[in-house]
Amino acid sequence: MTPANQALAAARTLSPAEAAHAPLGTAEMLSRLVAFDTTSRNSNLELIHWVRDYLAAQGVVATLVPSEDGAKANLYASIGPAAEGGIVLSGHTDVVPVDGQPWSTDPWALVEKPDGKLYGRGSCDMKGFVAAVLAHVPAFKQARLKVPMHFAFSYDEEVGCLGAHSLAERLMGDVPKPRAVVVGEPTMMGVVNAQNWGGGLIATFTGFEAHSSMTHLGVSAIHFAGEFIHWLNVLQEELAARKRTDIDTVPGHTTINVGVINGGTAGNILARECVLNWGYRTLPGDDAMEVERRAEAYLMGELLPRMRAKHPSANIDLKRRSMVPGIKAEENVVATELALQWTGSNRTFAVPYGTEAGIFRAHGVPTVICGPGDISQAHQPDEFVAASQLKACDAFIARMIEWAERQ
**Residue 149: beta bridge partners?**
79, 87
CA distance 391 to 402: 17
* Least distance CB 132 / Zn ion (angstroms): 15
- Indicate the length of the chain as a whole number: 407
Give exposure, 35-65, as e/b (b: 16+ Cβ within 10 Å). Answer: bbbbbbebbbbebbbbbbebbebbebebebb
For residue 287, indicate whether it is catalytic.
no
* Least distance CB 157 / Zn ion (angstroms): 6
**Residue 344: beta bridge partners?**
none
Task: Identify the three-state secondary structure at position 31.
Answer: helix
**Nearer to Zn ion (CB atom), residue 206 or residue 377:** 377
CB within 8 Å of 49: residues ≥ 6 apart: none
Q: HSE on the CB side for 81, CA within 13 Å?
A: 10
**Nearer to Zn ion (CB atom), residue 145 or residue 375:** 375
Active-site residue, from 28, 94, 125, 158: 94
**Nearer to Zn ion (CB atom), residue 288 or residue 357:** 357
Q: Are 340 and 366 in contact (CB under 8 A)?
A: no
Closest Cα partner for 248 from 190, 195, 288, 325? Answer: 195
CA distance 205 to 244: 34
Closest Cα partner for 80 from 145, 151, 173? Answer: 145
Q: HSE on the CB side for 384, CA within 13 Å?
A: 16
What is the Cα 302 distance to its own chain's centre?
35
Footprint on this chain of Zn ion (rule: CB under 5 A)? 125-126, 185
* Least distance CB 280 / Zn ion (angstroms): 19
Q: HSE on the CB side for 382, CA within 13 Å?
A: 7
**Nearer to Zn ion (CB atom), residue 14 or residue 95:** 95
Active-site residue, from 157, 158, 286, 394: 157
**Nearer to Zn ion (CB atom), residue 126 or residue 135:** 126
Task: Identify the three-state secondary structure at position 148.
Answer: coil
For residue 156, indicate whether it is catalytic.
no
Consecutive H or E run containing 204:
strand 197-206
**Nearer to Zn ion (CB atom), residue 272 or residue 281:** 281
Consecutive H or E run containing 142:
helix 137-142
**Nearer to Zn ion (CB atom), residue 185 or residue 286:** 185
Closest Cα partner for 389 from 109, 190, 95? Answer: 190
One DSSP character per residue, 232-290 reads HHHHHHHHHHT--SSS--SS-S-EEEEEEEEE-S-TTB--SEEEEEEEEEE-TTS-TTH
**Number of neighbouring beta carbons within 10 Å of residue 244:** 15
* Least distance CB 196 / Zn ion (angstroms): 14
**Nearer to Zn ion (CB atom), residue 56 or residue 98:** 98
Query: Looking at the annotation, which residues are catalytic?
Result: 94, 157
